[in-house]
């Protein structure tokens, strides 16, 4: 059976038109699914019953199964979704005291980028997610909210490299930003990338105002290629040039993510060189203390080391935020729950 969410808007329009159905019927179905959180066509009670049956015969609505659901005390909830082919992906709902309800979604099963400290890439890339599989994560997480609550932000920071799967990500984001869809503004959507210059420029040309975050993690190419092996051919200068183009095209300040790994990239000289690199750029640095991954030898720096790193950047005039990971007890960092389920050998 075909997944409803896999259809392009054009394909759906044709399906409805071929059956002599007025356009507003398709709008109703989309509203039920994206806004009213329906889990089956049967629930779409203002559609004629024959149409509901016809849709149900032709399309599956949601295609994943919730394989695990974890909640932490800080309001973070994580889903492990099993896809139709048995592959598993993670997605997270984060709540904060500013009434933000943010979802963090995956774009690939596994990841090919091989960042040495990241759980998602440890077993390589299995496959890209489809547009429907990306969107379905948002819908599944939205269903966890109270009926009167709405999602406010989306971060594409789960498993995988989003810019290596733009062809599926962009249509999923269209449904998320569309007023007839989830109606979340592009300004509230962050795409985090390891830094693929050609894809950054493609995104810039779309002029769609997504917030871009680039995972830098090191102030020079030598150190960066140790931590982010996929970046060894690209080089920081090329990535920064693409980031500058993104800013010029969209007017949106780029964020640079920097995972702090004790003894590796957390020394004062690293902070000074990072400040040097970003001088004169309208950038924000997101410092992320390493979130420990079982079986990996890396450590989280002491709070004082993180504090000093941040202070050096601030004194050099760089905008900095420290991002503490939420939901640590539920393995909320990307790829961790999937791995722990795999290593525990659960079904």
Rounded to whole angstroms, the Cα distance separating 74 from 239 reads 35
Q: Tell me if residue 90 is catalytic.
A: yes
State yes or no: residue 291 binds ligand SAH (CB under 6 A). yes
Q: Cα–chain-centroid distance for residue 202?
A: 18
Is 286 in a helix, a strand, or coil?
strand
Binding mask 132-171 for ligand SAH (x = CB under 6 A): -------------------------x---x----------
State which of positions 95-124 bind ligand SAH (CB under 6 A).
Answer: 113, 115, 117-118
334 binds ligand SAH (CB under 6 A): yes
Catalytic hit among 90, 133, 136, 257: 90
The strand ranges marked E within the chain are 2-3, 59-60, 65-71, 77-82, 88-95, 101-104, 108-110, 125-128, 153-156, 189-193, 211-215, 255-260, 284-289, 319-322
Q: Is 334 a catalytic residue?
A: yes
Q: Looking at residues 27 to 86 of the shown chain, list those that interact with ligand SAH (rule: CB under 6 A).
A: none
Judged by CB under 6 A, which stretch of 2-10, 47-55, 75-83, 290-298 contacts ligand SAH?
A: 290-298
In this chain, which stretch among 180-188, 262-270, 272-280, 286-294 interacts with ligand SAH, using CB under 6 A?
Answer: 286-294
Note whether 318 and 278 are within 8 A (CB): yes
Query: Environment class of residue 304 by beta-carbon count within 10 Å: exposed (0-12), middle (13-18) or buried (19+)?
Result: exposed
Residue with smaller CB distance to ligand SAH, 37 or 70: 70
Phi, psi of 227 (to 5 degrees): -90, -35
Q: Tell me which of 194, 212, 275, 277 binds ligand SAH, using CB under 6 A.
A: 194
φ, ψ at 163 (rounded to 5°): -80, -5
What are the residue numbers of the active site? 90, 334
Residues that bind ligand SAH (CB under 6 A): 113, 115, 117-118, 157, 161, 192-194, 215, 257, 259, 288, 290-291, 293, 333-334
């Amino acid at each position: 059976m075909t997944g409803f969410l896999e259809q392009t808007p054009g394909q759906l329009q044709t399906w409805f038109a071929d059956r002599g159905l007025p356009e507003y019927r398709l709008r109703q179905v989309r509203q039920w699914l994206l806004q009213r959180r329906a889990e089956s066509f049967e629930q779409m009670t203002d559609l004629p019953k024959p149409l509901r049956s016809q849709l149900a015969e032709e399309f599956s609505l949601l295609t994943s199964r919730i394989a695990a659901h974890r909640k932490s005390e800080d309001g973070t909830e994580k889903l492990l979704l099993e896809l139709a082919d048995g592959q598993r992906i993670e997605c997270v709902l984060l709540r904060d005291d500013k009434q933000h309800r943010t979802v963090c979604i995956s774009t690939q099963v596994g990841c090919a980028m091989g960042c040495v400290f990241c759980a998602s890439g440890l077993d390589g890339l299995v496959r890209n997610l489809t547009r429907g599989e990306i969107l379905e994560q948002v819908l599944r997480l939205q269903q966890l909210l109270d009926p009167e609550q709405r999602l406010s932000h989306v971060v594409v920071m789960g498993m995988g490299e989003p810019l290596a799967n733009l062809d599926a990500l962009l249509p999923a984001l269209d449904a998320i930003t569309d007023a007839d869809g989830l109606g979340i503004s592009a300004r509230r959507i962050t795409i985090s990338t390891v830094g693929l210059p050609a894809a950054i420029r493609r995104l810039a040309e779309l002029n769609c105002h997504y917030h871009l975050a680039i995972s830098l993690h090191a102030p020079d190419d030598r150190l960066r290629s140790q931590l982010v092996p996929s970046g060894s051919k690209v080089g920081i200068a090329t990535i920064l040039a693409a980031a500058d183009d993104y800013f010029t095209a969209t007017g949106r300040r780029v964020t640079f993510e920097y995972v702090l790994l004790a003894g590796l990239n957390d020394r004062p000289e690293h902070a000074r060189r990072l400040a040097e690199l970003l001088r004169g750029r309208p950038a924000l640095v997101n410092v992320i203390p390493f979130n420990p991954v079982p079986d990996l030898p890396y450590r989280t720096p002491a709070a004082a080391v993180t504090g000093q790193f941040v202070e050096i950047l601030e004194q050099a005039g760089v905008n900095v935020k420290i991002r503490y990971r939420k939901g640590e007890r539920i393995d909320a960092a990307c790829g961790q729950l999937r791995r722990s389920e795999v290593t525990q050998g659960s079904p």
